[in-house]
Amino acid sequence: MSDANVRIPEETGDRLAAIAAAEGLSLRAYLARLVETLLTPAERAEWAERAEKALAALKEWNGYAPRAAEDQDLGSKLDRRLARVSGQ
């Protein structure tokens, strides 16, 4: 494993260290875990394409085609549930 030096504002570093400590992790471990939760632009595009294909399959299979407002509401509900289970 290689080390990297990253220059960030002191306040940001202090905040990251405090968050990591609250999670019972070192800053290195916290950042490694954090990075695993992020997607690159290419990965986001891939997931968006997969989601479109899944919606098309659902529509073909049972006619399910949520309106934009319904889709946004469902996304908000999912975000709230994920935040609840992740303790945020």
Residue in the structure block whose two tokens are 């405090």: 18
CA 24, 30, 32, 33 dihedral sign is positive
68 touches 55 (CB < 8 A): no
Q: Which pTM value belongs to this model?
A: 0.55
Q: Report the C-alpha gap between 68 and 65 in whole angstroms.
A: 9
* pLDDT tens, N- to C-terminus, the chain (88 residues): 678 888 999 999 999 999 999 999 999 999 999 999 898 999 999 999 998 899 899 889 998 888 888 888 888 888 898 888 876 5
